[in-house]
Amino acid sequence: MNKAGYQLVSGLPEAMRPWRDRPVTWANVSPSTGPYRLDAEGVYRYYPDGGTTGYDHPVGQAQFGLGCITSYRTETDPARKSLFLTRARAQADQLIAAHHNARGAWWFPYTFPFTHAVHTGVDYDAPWYSGMAQGEAISLFVQLAQIDAISSVDRAVYMVAADGALASLQLTDEGEPWVSNIDSGGYFWIQEYPGAVHAEGDYTYNGMIFAMFGLYDYYLATGSPAAADLYDACATTIAAHFPELRNQRWHSYYCGTHRVPAPTYHQHHINLLTQVHWQTGSPDYAHFTERLVDDYPATSVSGTVAFEAGSHTLFRFDTSVSGAWVSTKGDAELGSKTVSFAGDTQAPASMRRRIQGRGIYYLISTGPYAGWWVGESWSKAYLRGIHLPTLYRPARTVTFPGGDVDVDTYKVATNGDVTSVKTVSFASPSNAPSDRRAIVNGRPMHQITAGGLTGYWVPANAVTIDSQPDLS
């Protein structure tokens, strides 16, 4: 089993720990309609086709429970706090009550048949099992056991359940059931969708990383070398297969088997890889995150586009009304025109995104050019401000070139105003720490956090940064 030596980091700030970014809101603490809702005992169940029979959905139960724990930690109202904890415990208690014992491990069954609408071969009769569910259940049990309001007796019950779930991930596909396997290259996988035949599966990226969070939580709670070794093996696998996950200049792939671009999962991949960076402290994973941000950045960014004096080509593309990509339209070009401005000007933009087969563009939202797109090109046309940060923990090292090459660095306000420019040069390459990368006034930059350049941003193409990983 391949392991590259990824180490697990303790002492992360609360906001950087697993599942803290996925709270259940108070409005959603008691879902009562739709295909996923609570039964009379407060258990999150799946009701297919709007029916009245609810089925266990272990991933849904674990994620709902973990979201409730996240909200419990921050809630100040006693009644609400109590209900969040009640909801979380109901999910854990149901997983424990429904579990199967096999091969010396605990397994959490899906109790309904399932056929994936897109991925051939993902076709299950009940009961079936998922490595994603097994790993997320570990997080749910461990995080409940860490809550002061849980009695010592119940805390022990939850840790026994976590032990049983961990055992399931340590077993590979020599028997039934199974959710983990080692591929022909020696890489360890936790399969969200195990195959009908041993050594086959969907090789789903997000499901494996969510399961890794269970290993991380378990290790921090117990110091288990086994959990740390499995996490190292998983991180090694994802790093080695990152070129297969990545779909350059477009949406990343959902899984290794079908390689279907996944618009709805691309941002999940960015968030998950960021968290693996924090959990390992490895710059490899910050690098992976940045590549996906550049391939297809989050489209929620809006603001003011600064236009330099001169001519600009504007485009109309075949999109949704909002400007979002539509698979059947493919961002086909519908028209273009050239406009000229006598002086620098600006316009509001409602969206920044990659146009299929092209670069990054901004959708002008109001004024005479509303509905037209302009390509991002610093300093000709760029979105003002600081957007899409990738936070480093620990800091990474940027290296300024030697040879007395001039490099401009910038202090930039949140609205994009440049408040200071400092030009530096060094006879020999010089290092500085950086705590983040972001798109700053239309181009990737790193923020410097020590020395005379503290608080300044340096363009990413003017420096090099540590651990551009060799994935050969």
Percent of the chain with pLDDT over 90: 95
pLDDT over 90 at 441, yes or no: yes
Percent of the chain with pLDDT over 70: 99
pTM equals 0.95
pLDDT over 50 at 267, yes or no: yes
As a whole number of angstroms, the distance between CA 374 and CA 218 comes to: 48
As a whole number of angstroms, the distance between CA 344 and CA 351 comes to: 21
pLDDT the model gives residue 471? 41
The mean pLDDT value for 181-205 works out to: 93
Is-contact 84 71, C-beta < 8 A?
Answer: yes
Model pLDDT for residues 93-111, shown as the tens digit of each residue? 999 999 999 999 999 999 9
Q: Is the dihedral of CA 328, 330, 331, 336 positive or negative?
A: negative
In one letter, which amino acid is 253? Answer: Y
pLDDT over 70 at 225, yes or no: yes
The mean pLDDT value for 346-354 works out to: 98
Model pLDDT for residues 86-96, shown as the tens digit of each residue? 999 999 999 99
pLDDT the model gives residue 117? 84
Pairing of β 114-115 and β 360-364: unpaired
pLDDT the model gives residue 389? 97
Model pLDDT for residues 125-146, shown as the tens digit of each residue? 999 999 999 999 999 999 999 9
pLDDT the model gives residue 50? 77
Closest CA to 330 of 294, 357, 353: 357
pLDDT the model gives residue 297? 97
Task: Give all strands of the β-sheet with 55-56 in edge-to-edge order.
Answer: 36-38, 44-46, 55-56
Question: If pLDDT is split at 50, 70 and 90, which confidence band does 467 have?
Answer: low
Is-contact 437 289, C-beta < 8 A?
Answer: no
As a whole number of angstroms, the distance between CA 212 and CA 193 comes to: 15
In one letter, which amino acid is 196? Answer: A
374's tokens: 């302009």
Model pLDDT for residues 55-89, shown as the tens digit of each residue? 999 999 999 999 999 999 999 999 999 999 999 99
Q: Is the dihedral of CA 59, 64, 68, 70 positive or negative?
A: positive
Question: If pLDDT is split at 50, 70 and 90, which confidence band does 120 have?
Answer: confident
Is-contact 91 140, C-beta < 8 A?
Answer: yes
Averaged pLDDT score across all residues of the chain: 96
In one letter, which amino acid is 137? Answer: A
Reply yes or no: is the peptide bond before residue 379 cis, omega within 30 of 0: yes
DSSP per-residue letters across 198-240: TT-B--BHHHHHHHHHHHHHHHHHH--HHHHHHHHHHHHHHHH
Closest CA to 8 of 228, 222, 168: 228
List the beta strands (DSSP E) in 80-140.
100-102, 105-107, 114-115, 123-124
Q: How far is CA 83 from CA 28, 90, 120, 211, 229, in A?
A: 12, 10, 41, 26, 36
What's the distance, Cα to Cα, between the start and end of the chain in Å? 18
